Each structure stands twice: as structure tokens, then as C-alpha cells.
Amino acid sequence: MTSALVLLLLAGAPAEPKMKISLVKLSATQQKGAVSKKASAQLEALKGCYDLALKSTPELKGDLTLKFALEKNAASPESVAVDEASTLKDETVSQCVIARLQSTSWPKSKARSDVAITLKFETTR
């Protein structure tokens, strides 16, 4: 029994999975640079949406593509839609990410800007 404990201590605890989210693709018809900068700044908060879902689905991973429009002089999108090509099929993550994107204050544009964001969610050991 003691030798098994010593081996466990020497081997170290099993590595905790690392949650990773990355901005894979972004398109915007207006102010792409400013929109991209704002989206990148949100990644840590969006990771929280993923962390929450991992508690019930530890093997969860995939891409989530969201589309929305930033209307002229509006600070946030009225609606955000999940693209059917998304491989991350988890309502907890998608609804949390949508809520976060809608509460974000986006750069205002002088014209409507259609935005598509693809986020990649994954865990590594």
C-alpha cells in the first residue's frame, strides 16, 4: 500500500485537461480590424462558457460558427445565430456564447456590418 502511494506521488497527479478556445475565422463587411480585436478580447470570457459545459460533458470539443449583424450605429447585435455547419452541438455553450456576444459593446459602424465568427473549442492534456 505504501509503495503504491509513493509511486503515485512520484508520478504526480494526473494532468488536468487544458481548455482552449481560439478565433479560427472572422469576417466582417465593415471595420473588420476593430471587430476582430473586440472578438479576440472576449475569448477568455467565452472560455468560461466552455468550462461550464465541460463539467457535464468532459469530451466536448468542436467548432462553433456564429453569425450576426451590427446595424448602423448600434453597439450590439439584436440576434446571433448558430450556423448549421458548426460541429460543437451543445446548447449550454452556444446559448452562453450568444448571450456574451449580445452583451458585448461592439465598434459602431456607419453602415451595416455582417459578421461571421468561427470559434474552436478543445481540451488537451
For 119, list phi and psi in degrees, rounded to 5. Answer: -110, 140
Dihedral sign, CA of 58, 45, 108, 119?
negative
pLDDT (tens digit, 9 = 90+) per residue, 32-75?
Answer: 999 999 999 999 999 999 998 988 898 899 999 999 999 998 88
Q: Which residues have C-beta within 8 Å of that of residue 15, sequence separation ≥ 6?
A: 125
In contact, 19 and 124? CB cutoff 8 Å: no
Q: pTM for the whole thing?
A: 0.81
pLDDT band at 5 (very low <50, low <70, confident <90, very high): very low
* pLDDT given for residue 12 in this prediction: 54
Which cell goes with 108?
459602431
